[in-house]
Amino acid sequence: MAGSQRLKRMADTVQRELSELIRQELKDPRLGGLVTISAVKVSPDLGYAEVYVTVMGRELGDEQSESANKETLDVLNKASGFLRHELGRRIKTRITPRLRFHYDKTNAYGNYMFGLIAEAVKDLPPAEEKKDDE
């Protein structure tokens, strides 16, 4: 149990510091939109950190945004050595995990589903309010 708390604290610290590093230090123009770290999972031996990112302003299913998201992931994965070095300087731990970036489709999928639901219910008649006869 204590190990899981340690991993959670480490994941939270990595998430906080990485988001700041990406925002302040990476100046690559291929990083389109707002890159947000949605989750970080650290391996039990602290050797790897799986970093899940979303790119705000892009929708699911659009081929251009899919390729742009892939390009964003490529930029982040290529910058992972630099980010790991800077992360190690900031968090000052004996072991700094290697970073692997993955695209998190959760927000985009939620927006897509919300759009589908809105489209489906727009043709329905408005719900009648219940009237109390008392």
Q: Is 113 exposed, middle or buried (0-12, 13-18, 19+ CB in 10 A)?
A: exposed
Domain that holds residue 63: 2-123
Determine, yes or no, domain membership for 66: yes
Per-residue pLDDT of the chain (134 residues; tens, 9 = 90+): 456 898 999 999 999 999 999 888 888 777 767 888 999 999 999 899 999 998 876 554 555 567 777 888 888 999 999 999 999 999 888 889 999 999 888 777 787 888 889 888 887 777 666 555 55
What dihedral angle (degrees, nearest 10) is formed by the CA atoms of 34, 35, 36, 40?
180
**Structural domain contains residue 119:** yes
Residue 129 lies in a domain: no
Answer yes or no: is 130 within a domain.
no
The pTM for the full model equals: 0.74
Asked if the structure places residue 132 within a domain, the reply is: no
Give me the number of domains the chain comprises: 1
Q: Supply the CATH number for residue 108's domain.
A: 3.30.300.20
**Which residues pair with residue 39 across a beta bridge?**
52
Residue 47 lies in a domain: yes
- What pLDDT, on a 0 to 100 scale, did the predictor assign at position 57? 60
